[in-house]
Amino acid sequence: MPPITDVVKNLIIINVLIYFTVTLTPVGSIIPDLKLYFPLDTVNFKPYQLITHMFMHASPGHLFFNMLMLYFLGPYVEKYAGPKQFLILYLLSGVGAFLAHIGIQYYQYSSLGVNLFPPAVGASGAIMGVVIAFTALFPNVKLFLLFPPIPIKAKYLGIGYVLIDLFSGIGNFQPGVANFAHLGGALVGFLLTYFWIKRRKW
């Protein structure tokens, strides 16, 4: 893999610092709620949560695996796209994730009269955008999975992630996991890569 790139490095540092500041220090108790609440929840929702929730994580494992994916795949995408374009891809994938998440929340709220989703946290939607960008740019590159430890072409890994999130979201097989947010991030990552980043190279 290429050396870690500037934007990837800074994103990892920011995510790690925010997590440990909020969860392990007294400062966390005075920081406003950074999780993303349902926008119709007028008591808890704040506009800044649309960005801040992307830098919050539910657990050390949640943080670790998101940053691991960013560390291994992000530098390739940043090197291809450029730092500015990569940061835009990352942030807009996160925006696409929360739009998908909120859309599903609104559907549940309007059809059932109840909000079934807890507040959203995590960079998973942005990370999915980066993962799908990688698979679109380097579809035939072989990656080695951790579980199980086998090689797989990037394009099949991307398809697999999307299918898992799709079926898990429809069947509600992973309660508490924002599967549709992952899909929103993946969609934005693909569209930006295919219609913007790749075309800039032509």
Q: Which of 39-48, 81-90, 153-162 has the lowest mean pLDDT?
A: 39-48
Question: Cα(86)–Cα(78) distance, rounded to whole angstroms?
Answer: 5
Q: Is residue 63 part of a domain?
A: yes
Q: What is the chain's mean pLDDT, rounded? A: 88
Using an 8 Å Cβ cutoff, are 152 and 143 in contact? yes
For residues 18-29, average pLDDT: 83
Domain count, the chain: 1
Q: Is residue 1 part of a domain?
A: no
With a cut of 60, say whether residue 202 has pLDDT above it. no
> Given pLDDT bands bounded at 50, 70 and 90, which one contains residue 116?
low
Residue-level pLDDT at 114: 62
Q: Which range of residues forms the domain containing residue 131?
A: 6-200
Question: Cα(23)–Cα(14) distance, rounded to whole angstroms?
Answer: 14
Q: Is residue 116 part of a domain?
A: yes
CATH number (domain holding residue 63): 1.20.1540.10
Question: Cα(91)–Cα(192) distance, rounded to whole angstroms?
Answer: 11
Query: Over the stretch 144-188, which tens digit does the pLDDT of each residue have?
Result: 877 678 899 999 999 999 999 999 988 877 776 888 999 999 999
Q: The pTM is what? A: 0.89
For residues 134-152, average pLDDT: 89
Q: Is residue 77 part of a domain?
A: yes
